[in-house]
Structure 1
Amino acid sequence: MHPNTELANRIIQEKLLGSTVESFGLTHQFLTLTFRDKNADDHTIWIDTEVTSKSYPFQELNLDETGAALLLFNSVNLKEVVAIQCNDEATLEIQFDNGIHIFFAGSPAEESMIEPWSLGTEMSNAASSIIATHGGGYIIFEGRQDM
């Protein structure tokens, strides 16, 4: 595993494992999922990639990609994250306590999606960000104290 992948997984798991989906929607034309952890800190994933799920058949509905993703996000609203991981190709997988798995593609078919997803968090005067890059790899900013 690439060293940045290990660091990205450590941060993602530290921030999101055990958290619940607090809200979801569209912000500035990006899909977003916001999680609240046990310390009442919020963490937002910004999504500009293909969203899929093997455990929820939303793809079979006659919806556009955004509508289908929002319907999927509604199925995990207020649900707890029980597993989360990313891989060397920057694909992110989240499993929720209701059995739903969501995947954010790290290598979307549309190559113009150069940052398929990112996680931003602010807490206790420290901020962290993880930006997944198309095809793999991460840009990581951790624990800035200048907030």
Structure 2
Amino acid sequence: MNTDTVAANALIRAAIGNAAVESYGLSHQILILEFRDDKPADHLLSLGEIKVSSNVVVDEGLILNEEERVLLLFSKVNLRSVTEVHCDDEANLTISFDNGVQLHFSGRSHDGYEPWQLGRALDEGGYLVIAQDGGGYAIWDCTQEETH
């Protein structure tokens, strides 16, 4: 496992490993999942143009576009707690929840840009993990900085 993958995993596990989905939806036409824990600021997962899959089967009889299908999957994890989260060297992200649902976020974007990013406001002792298309991570971590 690459060193940036190890660092990304450590940070995202510490960040949302004990959090729950607070809300989901669209923000400025970007799919988001918002996680809440016992800290004052929430964690925000923003998705680029990527494939989202799950162990939950969406009824083929429903006529849904891709965005609607993903929002339906997100509804299955609303207010559910994260039980496991990890990413790999190809920037794929998997999040498992306490109801058995797993969401898989591709590390490849359709447009060649960042597939996903997870973070909390840096000015509040936060962090930011940006997945690079096809592998690698850009990481900013202010969680260990002392405030005076």
Is the contact between residue 41 and residue 123 of structure 1 (CA under 8 Å) also seen in structure 2?
no
Residues 13-72 of structure 1: CA deviation (Å, up to 9, x unaligned): 00001100000000111100000013343000001111110x211273321110000011
- Structure 1 residue runs of 5 or longer lacking an equivalent are none
Equivalent residue for 1:37?
37
Matched, 1:27 2:18: no
1:140 aligns with 2:146: no
What are the equivalent positions in structure 2 for 1:1-147 lying under 5 Å apart? 1-48=1-48, 49-53=50-54, 55-58=55-58, 60=60, 61-108=62-109, 110=110, 112-122=111-121, 125-143=124-142
**TM-score for the superposition, normalised by structure 2:** 0.90
- 1:124 deviates by 8.0
Aligned length: 143
Structure 2 Cα separation of the partners of residues 59 and 40 of structure 1 = 38
**Normalised by the size of structure 1, how large is the TM-score?**
0.90
Of 33-42 and 93-102, the range deviating more from structure 2: 33-42
Contact 1:91 1:103 in 2 (8 A): yes
Q: What percent of counterpart residues are identical?
A: 40
Tell me if structure 1 keeps the 8 A contact 2:85–2:94. Answer: yes
1:58 counterpart SS class: coil
Using the alignment, how far apart are the partners of 1:102 and 1:59 within structure 2?
Answer: 17
For 1:39, the aligned partner's letter is K
In structure 2, stretches of 5+ residues that fail to align are: none
Say whether the 8 Å CA contact 2:122–2:128 is kept in structure 1: no
CA distance in structure 2 between the aligned counterparts of 1:87 and 1:19, rounded to whole angstroms: 20
Structural RMSD (CA): 1.9
| Residue aligned with 1:25, SS | strand
Q: What CA distance in whole angstroms lies between the structure 1 residues aligned with 2:78 and 2:12?
A: 19
